[in-house]
Amino acid sequence: MNLNNSIEDLVSAQRRFFKSGTTRDIHYRVTQLKKLRSALIAKEAEVIQALRTDLNKSEQESFTTEIGIVYKELSYVIRNIHQWAKPRKVKTALTHIGSRGRILPEPYGTVLIIAPWNYPWQLAISPLIGAMAAGNTAVIKPSELTPAVSAVISALIKDTFPESYAAVVEGGPDTSTCLLQQPVDYIFFTGSTRIGKIVMQAASQHLTPVTLELGGKSPCIVHRDASLKLTAKRIVFGKFTNAGQTCVAPDYLLVHESVKEPLLQYMKEAITEFYGESPLKNPDYGRIVSEKHFLRLSHFLDNGSVRHGGNYDESNLLIEPTLLDDITWDMPVMEDEIFGPIFPILTYNDLNEVIATVNARPKPLALYLFTNDAGVQKQIMSEISFGGGCINDTLMHLATPYLPFGGVGASGMGAYHGKHSFDTFSHMKSILHQTNKFDFSFRYPGKDGLKLLRKLMKP
């Protein structure tokens, strides 16, 4: 059987299973989520080893950024799903006296989840949790660039669920293209803006709704009153975790001219504290995912001047945490999202200049602001559009199930995590239940009806 036929058969089987109504039962959903949790726990050691194999992630980083987040998400969803799935009553308009309105969350059907390579475990399993919680069936397409993790996901899902409920399809771009041609009911994609446009175009052929978790050049702004030593530590953590291969990593630094040099000194100290004097020899320092990505990143090292780092090991796909100074916006490093351990530095003197600079470019997925000034915080948060972010921290907004995570504009559409995942994978069906005990004549054609309507509905 060829690829296209096998994928068609899989999607058809999932659509039939969904139509059986089995997944609509809340107790069934909870049972499956608990089965998933047990399977994840059983596979934890394999996941850690696979992440080490594909990306050289340490056990601590794997648990912190991949495994632990998934556990927390699962527990939160299982604990709250009964409440989220209840029909929600809404108010009755004056013109609708006698009726009752409610919103009934219902699953879309069969969901396609296309996961990326940078956090290949978390960004495959987390949306799966939301899809299952909402009562959908799911097809997961892991990244071919992280084959060890892909194999673990495939084995876990195959051993835990029937293929008609949840399945993994491994493969490269041809597989993704074939999957995108199927008449699924929802597509959840995490990846680059370029591929996101292709996904959206494919979805339009079936008018399939999509969530696109993309990226962009996320600014990190350090104002003159920031607590510099702590700021440096938190920036270095956010930028160089997973060797900078994080969609919400600070992409470039905008630092007030008056505090640039002390901040850079503290950042150098933090890099040494985290990764040692020779990061390329640190067994726990992450590597670049592929030779193609390594070559792309290595060309950026010629931009500006290196203030720290700059060394690399091509044979092992390693690049040191690198700080680049004397950067201008016309340099290649500033054209697209870097997605690597290279951090360009720009300075400013006027906060309005910062706002204009960021707003002149596509809306970023994240923004990080370091300042103790409440007025500056309010100004930046209200005058710059971005997906989500932190004040006086980096990355951590991603790790809470209480905040929606998603982009805006070129950095994506839609959001998930916690209840927001349940809502994303649910259609909110509106239902009005009208009384038969009485009837209002004003709703029907006639002059008297118009007069009364004008009184009831006047502004």
Give the pLDDT confidence of 391-403 residue by residue, as tens digits: 999 999 999 999 9
Mean pLDDT, range 302-324, rounded to an integer:
97
Q: Which residues pair with 391 in a beta bridge?
A: 369
Please give the pLDDT value at position 441: 75
Please give the pLDDT value at position 447: 58
Which residue type does 457 have?
M
pLDDT at 216 exceeding the cut of 60: yes
Mean pLDDT, range 131-135, rounded to an integer:
98
pLDDT at 408 exceeding the cut of 60: yes
The CATH class given to the 3-214+425-430 domain equals alpha beta
DSSP-assigned letter for residue 63: I
- Report whether 114 contacts 210 (CB < 8 A): no
Please give the pLDDT value at position 446: 67
How many other β-carbons are positioned within 10 Å of the β-carbon of residue 198?
16
- Report whether 143 contacts 123 (CB < 8 A): no
- Report whether 125 contacts 149 (CB < 8 A): no
pLDDT at 229 exceeding the cut of 60: yes
- Report whether 11 contacts 183 (CB < 8 A): yes
Cα(297)–Cα(291) distance, integer angstroms: 10
Question: Which structure tokens are listed for 110?
Answer: 């069969």
DSSP-assigned letter for residue 174: H
Report residue 113: phi and psi, to 5°.
Answer: -115, 115
> In this prediction, what percent of the chain has a pLDDT beyond 70?
98
Question: Is 3.80.10.10 the CATH classification of the domain at 219-401?
Answer: no
Q: How confident is the model at residue 169 (pLDDT cuts 50, 70, 90)?
A: very high
Mean pLDDT, all residues of the chain = 95
Where along the chain do its domains lie?
3-214+425-430, 219-401
Please give the pLDDT value at position 63: 96
Kindly tell me the burial class for residue 104, based on how many C-beta atoms sit within 10 Å of its own C-beta (0-12, 13-18, 19 or more).
middle
Q: How confident is the model at residue 448 (pLDDT cuts 50, 70, 90)?
A: low
Question: Which structure tokens are listed for 212?
Answer: 């696109």
Instruction: List the catalytic residues.
Output: 213, 247
Mean pLDDT, range 408-425, rounded to an integer:
97
Q: How confident is the model at residue 323 (pLDDT cuts 50, 70, 90)?
A: very high
Q: How confident is the model at residue 457 (pLDDT cuts 50, 70, 90)?
A: confident
- Asked if the domains 3-214+425-430 and 219-401 are classified in one and the same CATH topology, the answer is no
| Segment holding 166, helix H or strand E | strand 166-168
For 10, residues 6+ apart whose C-beta sits below 8 A from its C-beta are 139, 163, 167, 169
Cα(364)–Cα(367) distance, integer angstroms: 7
Kindly tell me the burial class for residue 27, based on how many C-beta atoms sit within 10 Å of its own C-beta (0-12, 13-18, 19 or more).
exposed
Please give the pLDDT value at position 386: 97
This prediction has a pTM of: 0.94
Please give the pLDDT value at position 1: 55
Mean pLDDT, range 238-264, rounded to an integer:
97
| Segment holding 51, helix H or strand E | helix 44-55
Please give the pLDDT value at position 3: 78
Give the pLDDT confidence of 38-63 residue by residue, as tens digits: 999 999 999 999 999 999 999 999 99
Tell me the CA distances in angstroms from 150 to 46, 195, 221, 440, one per residue in order. Answer: 11, 20, 36, 61
Give the pLDDT confidence of 330-353 residue by residue, as tens digits: 999 999 999 999 999 999 999 999
Q: How far apart are the first and last CA of the chain?
A: 64
pLDDT at 440 exceeding the cut of 90: no
